[in-house]
Amino acid sequence: MKKIAIFAKVHDPRCLGVAEELVTWLEARGLEPVVEAHLARHLKFEPGTEPERIPDSADLVVVLGGDGTLISVARLIGERQVPILGVNLGSLGFLTEITLDEMYPALERCIAGNFQVSERMMLKTEVTREGEVISSHQVLNDVVINKGALARIIDLETSVDDYHLTTFKADGLIISSPTGSTGYSLAAAGPIVHPALDCLVITPICPHTLTNRPVVVDAGARISIILRSMNEDVFLTLDGQVGMELKAGDRIMIRRAEHRTRLVISQSKDYFEVLRTKLKWGER
């Protein structure tokens, strides 16, 4: 590895300080830091690199911040599948599991080619309106259909592989990947799914029918959701970061993406330790 890209949460002074130190560390070892343009302006580092050019110009991506920053970078990297080393400078951090103390040893292993990755399934989402695809995205965590603040419960006709599942009457619906199972889906009483599994999780948000429960389906399934509610404010949110307003009759198609996100994993902890730590299991 010769070119190391750096993304950071630019509004966090701590992240900026670590990024500045990292640039110096890389240059001292004869490596080329590829600094994302917005971050470069904050560091007064020239030249910065526009985000969309980074996947084709980096051998490794370092993300300084929290899970939100890493999720946005994962969508950007897309099919290039460049390994991502997430350094946790946020609060929770299910994905950015490398601590600041572990960062430089982990970087040295990556540069030497002695590292392991966790390959995470991504979701491909298409919105069709009147027979035309109007939006297409690939996400790491989840696809959420949610009612507006003043809207009534909404009707979401849901099918799996052309088989009718049900019409959810609820505040909304979450379709999550295994990685996203510890996000919004977990808060809506969805299951925790190990990230090595290939599956999709369908979790209703505050369903009007109390017997509606989360459903786990095969990763090869195609999930179709049609908004049947009229005159309600309904929104589609992708990874909690990208969104659009939906209209009655819109169809949302969700399936497994062809590529995966590759996350560099810590050699000092496993997934279950991350769960115990982040969710404070076993503590009184």
| Nearest CA among 251, 227, 203 for reference residue 148 | 227
Collect all residues with Cβ–Cβ distance below 8 Å to 148 and sequence separation of at least 6.
Answer: 232, 233, 234, 235
State yes or no: is 161 an active-site residue. Answer: no
CA distance 126 to 255: 9
pLDDT at 54: 94
Write down the CATH superfamily of domain 3-116+265-278.
Probable inorganic polyphosphate/atp-NAD kinase; domain 1 (3.40.50.10330)
- Which residues, in sequence order, are bridge partners of residue 4? 33, 60
pLDDT at 269: 84
Q: Are strands 117-129 and 132-139 parallel, antiparallel or unpaired?
A: antiparallel
Catalytic option among 12, 56, 59, 67: 67
**Residues shown for the chain:** 284
Q: What is the pTM of this model?
A: 0.93
Q: Where are the beta strands (DSSP E) in the chain?
A: 3-8, 32-35, 60-65, 84-88, 117-129, 132-139, 142-147, 154-160, 163-170, 172-176, 199-205, 215-218, 223-227, 234-238, 242-246, 251-264
Determine the Cα angle at 56 with ends 21 and 98, to 5°: 40
CA distance 27 to 88: 23
Domain range list for the chain: 3-116+265-278, 122-258
- Would you list the DSSP string of 4-47? EEEEE-TT-HHHHHHHHHHHHHHHHTT-EEEEBHHHHHHHT-SS
As its CATH architecture, domain 122-258 has Sandwich (2.60)
Which tokens sit at 84? Answer: 């991502």
pLDDT at 92: 67
pLDDT at 75: 93
Q: Report the chain (284 residues): mean pLDDT per 10 consecutive residues.
A: 94 94 96 96 91 93 94 90 91 82 94 94 97 96 93 94 96 97 96 96 94 96 97 94 96 96 90 88 82
